[in-house]
Structure 1
Amino acid sequence: MPRHLRSVVWTDGGLILRADLLTYVSQKAIGTGLVLDHYPDLSDSWWHALRSGLEPLKRVTTTKRVAADPCEESFRNYFLALFGANIDPEHVEMTMSHGDLHFGNITAPELVILDWENLGWAPAGYDAAHLLCSAILQPAVVARVQTEFADVLSTYTGAVAVLTAASNYLHHVERGEFPDVAIPIRRYAKTIIRDQLVA
């Protein structure tokens, strides 16, 4: 990740504004936004670096910041409305997450993970789930994400993480953004519910 150099915070009426100065990143982001619109040629070592780069987050326990909490009633109601799915909060494991991991926030050929402002607690596997939803229009990339993060995505919490990320993307669709992702994300969510959440 880029190194943090300095922050400035000021207020404007009721708003609190913050600017952060980070070290310069010369690598280009893989995508141009939340949804990946092409197939990126990423090496095995790049995927290994991504997995390794996210591992230290598991050791962060001191912050109270929340990236996404699917156990909140509003989230659970949204899951029910969108997917007809009830989740059991007692079976959801929370861990620290980048919170906004998509192909517009990661670079190649050298990996740098950008935009850490959403860092916070989320269901284990949320970063992988968010990345998967980001790539939903690129089936080969979805398959690679599934393979690389199978240990977290194949769990009950991983399934909840996918629904959480899918809900985020479908919320964008409701606002008129990324309409092409609606059908494949809903289809993928239904598969997750059938295979991992229904006893």
Structure 2
Amino acid sequence: MVAAHAAAADAFGAGVRGPRLWGWRGRTLGQRADHPVHGPCWLRLLSVPGQKAGGKLWEGTERAAAAFSAVRKPALHGLYDWATGPYAYRAELTAYVDEPVLSSEPVLRRELDLSDGWFATIRTSLTAIAATATDRTAVRQEWISRAVPAYTGRPAPRITQWTCAHGDFHAANLTRGATVLDWEGWGLAPRGYDAATLYAYAQLAPRTAARVRRELAPLLEGEDGRAALLVVCAELLQSASRGDHPDLVPRLRALVDARTPPAGEHRRPVPR
């Protein structure tokens, strides 16, 4: 990966510097780059087995560049694809975002003091993302039907409201300037999925989690919001079963237990 990243920098005519940032399980590698035309950039390399080149994750950043003009995100300057041996690589050269991320990892472990303006921008971005028409899929009903009972012990909701979602909307992909990073997995998901992702990952910082719930209440409350949160909890509990963020598990279980509708609240019938 390091050698391939250097090859991509040479192909773009850019010089890399600063710390390397590894993605989930070493599948991606990013580093700051200086380009003679575009100036400060970020060079991100994605690697997959050669037969898996193409598809949703491969094309996510490229297609997001055209789809989300109203969302604060890094501009895409160039792409470079090649294959060596058993692996295929895609390098993405994007504008450098000189804003710190909210967290170095998806799980938020410290309280944040976020401004009203930050939440206003996030709400605008979530509205614009949800309004985008797409043929991409981030979450499937088939997965929900299997995973929710398996990992939460609750019946799987039948999702009736599907909207476009970023798909990985957590503190490590959001900056202090409310820029949204990492667009590889976007697509259709249950309404409120992005808000539920941010909320669930923030549970170890309860004051910040409570603020997220207040500020994004229209997306987290009601039947749709409860369904989205249950789906996200199932996803994170599945990840925890593979060894990821074990300290988040008790809080996720508490969210699952807390999503029972209050007394007197009735669910709408689900069409069959």
Does the alignment reach a TM-score above 0.5? yes
**In the alignment, which residue of structure 2 is the partner of 1:143?**
210
2:44 matched to which residue of 1?
Answer: none
Distance 1:187 1:27 in 2: 33
Report how far residue 44 of structure 1 moved. Answer: 1.0
Count how many residue pairs are aligned between Structure 1 and Structure 2: 193
Counterparts of 1:189 and 1:129 in 2: how far apart (Å)? 12
The aligned counterpart of 1:113 is 180
Equivalent residues of 1:83, 1:190 under 8 A apart: no
The partner residue of 1:162 within 229, 232, 245 is 229
State yes or no: 1:19 paired with 2:111: no
Deviates more, 1:11-20 or 1:165-174: 11-20
Structure 1 residue runs without a partner (length 5+): none
C-alpha distance in 2 between matches for 1:88 and 1:128: 18
For 2:101 and 2:84, how far apart are their aligned partners in 1?
Answer: 32
Q: Quick check: which one's strand share is greater?
A: 2
Q: Give the alignment partner of residue 249 of structure 2, picking from 172, 177, 182.
A: 182
Once residues 80 and 198 of structure 1 are traced to their aligned partners in structure 2, the CA distance between those partners, rounded to angstroms, is 21
Shift of 1:32: 0.7
Identity of aligned residues (%): 32
- 1-structure distance, mates of 2:130, 2:144: 23
Structure 1 counterpart of 2:139, which letter? A
CA root-mean-square deviation:
1.9
Q: Which residue of 2 aligns with 1:171?
A: 238
Q: Which AA in structure 1 matches 2:261?
A: D
Q: After superposition, what is the alpha-carbon deviation per residue over 1:106-165, rounded to whole angstroms, capped at 9, x for unaligned? A: 111x22111111111110100000001110101111111111121121122221211121
Query: How far, CA to CA, are the matches of 1:163 and 1:9 in structure 2?
Result: 38
Identify which of 55, 73, 83 aligns with 2:152: 83
Paired residue secondary structure (1:107) = coil
SS in 2 for 1:104: helix
| Stretches of 4+ aligned residues off by more than 3 angstroms | 11-16, 196-199
> Which structure carries more relative contact order (alpha carbon 8 Å, separation 6+)?
1
Q: Given the alignment, which residue of 84, 99, 102 partners 2:167? A: 99
SS in structure 1 of the partner of residue 210 of structure 2? helix
Question: Structure 1 stretch 182-191 or stretch 161-170: which is displaced more?
Answer: 161-170
Structure 1 CA distance, aligned partners of 2:226 and 2:215?
Answer: 15
**In 2, Cα distance between equivalents of 1:168 and 1:82:** 8
In structure 2, distance between residues paired with 1:141 and 1:97: 22
CA contact (8 A) 1:92 1:160 kept: no
Distance 1:191 1:21, change over 3 A: same
Shift of 1:75: 2.4
Cα separation, 1, equivalents of 2:87 and 2:226: 36
- Residue 111 of structure 2 corresponds to residue 8 of structure 1: no
Residues of 2 paired with 1:8 and 1:88: CA distance?
Answer: 41
1:68 lines up with 2:136 in the alignment: no
SS in 1 for 2:189: strand
Match of 1:50 in 2: 122
- Residues 76 and 14 (structure 1), Cα distance of their counterparts in 2 relative to 1, 3 Å cut: farther
Gaps of 5+ in 2: 1-72, 268-272
